[in-house]
Amino acid sequence: MVNNRHRPRGQGVKRLDRIGSGPFLNIQRPDPLRGPAELPGWPTANTGGKNPGWRSSRGVFVLFALLSGVVAVGLGAGCVAPSPAPLNTQNGESVVFFGEEPSPLAFRPARGAALRLRNTYRPGAGTVTYEEGRDYRVDHDKGTVTRLPGSRLPDFRTNVLFGQAEFDHTKFPGYGNLPFFAYADYDSADAFRWYPTPAPGDPLAAARARLAAGGPFIVVAFGDSIANGGEASSPDLVFWRRWIADLQAKYPGARIAGVNGATGGDTTTRGLERLRTKVLDARPDLVLVAFGMNDHNRRGVPPADFERQLTEIVTRVRSGTGAAVVLVSTFPPNPRWVHGTRRMDEYATITARVAVATGSAHADVYGLWQAMTERKRPEDLLANNINHPNDFGHWIYYRALSATGL
């Protein structure tokens, strides 16, 4: 069993009673020509749309394990022979190590396939590649990696925030997790299936048609520090920039420009104040509205005001520009952080509700993040150990955006 001693209380994921009715998102294997640093991918496999049921997670996300292959019945002899489940690639998954405790992975590595660990998300000059048997041990059945005595892997127990409960980050100079991450590449027979709740109508139909027609297309990312870059190691790894790069490849006739309209520390209150200069004056074709992290803080914006102000932002964007809108939810910060309220589920629910009420698209980062943290810990995904995603966390945002269907 995975040791969850470091999982904060109250962060469990509720089980699904039933699967949503929408079509599942088939997340494809990354293009090998682009390499692991360019597009890390969820493991996927063909289950025929059925739920093998390894485990389920909150909202509309379901995580599957393909425990056995397809059964083939031989003609005449009537023999039954299992075929191996297809192997799928997971690249760039971040993990930290608490001494020699087993660290959980999102999926169970396939037997007979190597798991590789390195110290940078993107391989490059200065990247350290760790050695299995010398630096770490893999438990394929439990889906864990263990740091070995004398390993070159960093030990998270030396982090200034290790073991701190209800911590105020301002009292801990040098806080942050960036020096402690390792990034895993491995193959797995497990599969991730995502059943997004279908949006009423097709809120991105006009934007899709405009992209297909070619010509200028402006996307504004409007929100807080996460949309502003949130400690991604390179500008092109910021979630919305990765998504725009995919759109440009999909619509080569379009000339897509991304505009950073985000400001660190902002709430929907400040967003309304900046709306004219940050969004409307850019005359966008599409706006990503990504608030919630600062709104939910103890000195943030109460849920009722958050809903009213988020609705007003969408209304003013529509009336002022005619742009399509994608509402982007966010994830719970580290529950040990003293300034959080542990009520992010309310703000995520409001974001989804406003999307339906305003006819906007919805990128459910919250649900996808919760599915990930059913096995992984906040420390595995937070660059500052508080509320900023690392590169792999930005990839989770990117995948949620990709599911909007544009």
Which pLDDT does position 251 carry in this prediction? 98
Number of domains composing the chain: 2
Per DSSP, the three-state class of 23 is: coil
Verify that 209 and 142 share a domain, yes or no. Answer: no
In a domain, 96, yes or no: yes
- CB of 17 within 8 A of CB of 60? no
Say whether both 131 and 209 belong to one domain: no
Say yes or no: 252 and 388 in one domain.
Answer: yes
CA 402/CA 247 separation, integer angstroms: 9
Q: How much is the pTM?
A: 0.81
pLDDT confidence of residue 194: 58
**What pLDDT, on a 0 to 100 scale, did the predictor assign at position 323?**
98
273 and 393 together in one domain: yes
Residue 185: give the domain boundaries. 84-189
Residue 68 belongs to a domain: no
Listed in sequence order, the residues at least 6 apart from 66 whose beta carbon sits closer than 8 Å to its beta carbon are 45, 47, 52, 85, 86, 189, 190, 191
163 and 256 assigned to the same domain: no
Q: Are 305 and 296 in contact (CB under 8 A)?
A: no
Q: Is 255 part of any domain? A: yes
pLDDT of residue 57: 35
If one counts every other C-beta atom within 10 angstroms of the C-beta of residue 75, the result is 6
pLDDT in tens, 34-81: 333 333 343 333 333 332 223 333 333 333 332 222 222 232 334 455
Q: Are 115 and 262 found together in one domain?
A: no
Whether 255 and 180 map to the same domain: the answer is: no
Yes or no: say if 193 and 53 are a contact pair by the CB < 8 Å rule. Answer: no
Domain end residue (candidates: 137, 164, 189): 189
Are 184 and 209 in the same domain?
no
311 shares its domain with 269: yes
Task: Name beta bridge partners: 337.
Answer: 167
Q: Are residues 278 and 365 in the same domain?
A: yes
Look at residue 362 in the predicted model and tell me its pLDDT.
Answer: 96
CB atoms within 10 A of CB 31: 10
The Cα 267–Cα 227 span in angstroms is 12
Domain assignment present for residue 241? The answer is yes
- β-pairing, 102-104 vs 144-147, is antiparallel
- pLDDT less than 50: residues of the chain: 1-79
Task: Compute how many other C-beta atoms are within 10 angstroms of the C-beta atom of residue 43.
Answer: 28
> For 276-282, which contacts have Cβ atoms below 8 Å and span 24 or more sequence positions?
278/220, 278/222, 279/220, 279/222, 279/317, 279/321, 280/316, 280/317, 280/320, 280/321, 282/218, 282/220
Exposure string for 316-337, b = 16+ CB within 10 A, e = fewer: ebbeebebbbbbbbbbbbbbbb
112 plus 223 within the same structural domain:
no
Pairing, β 215-223 against β 254-260: parallel
What φ, ψ does residue 351 adopt, rounded to 5°?
Answer: -60, -45
Q: What is the 3-state secondary structure (H, E, C) of 147-164?
A: ECCCCCCCCHHHCCCCCC
DSSP per residue over 89-100, as a string? EEEEEEE---TT
Domain assignment present for 44: no
R_g of the chain, CA atoms, integer Å: 21
In this structure, what CATH number is given to the domain that contains residue 332? 3.40.50.1110
Confidence at residue 174, expressed as pLDDT on a 0 to 100 scale: 83
119 falls within a domain: yes
Helix axis angle for 303-321 and 344-358, nearest 10°, is 30
Distance CA 103, CA 138 (A): 10
In a domain, 254, yes or no: yes
Q: What's the DSSP call for residue 191?
A: E
Shared domain for 137 and 225, answered yes or no, is no
Q: Among the three residues 135, 164, 189, which one is the final residue of a domain in this structure?
A: 189
Q: What is the dihedral of CA 396, 398, 402, 403, to 10 degrees?
A: 30
Hey, what are 194's tokens? Answer: 């995502």
* Domain stop point among 155, 189, 223: 189
Cα–Cα distance for residue pair 350/305, rounded to 1 Å:
11
Q: Is residue 54 part of a domain?
A: no
Strands 61-65 and 55-56 come out as: antiparallel
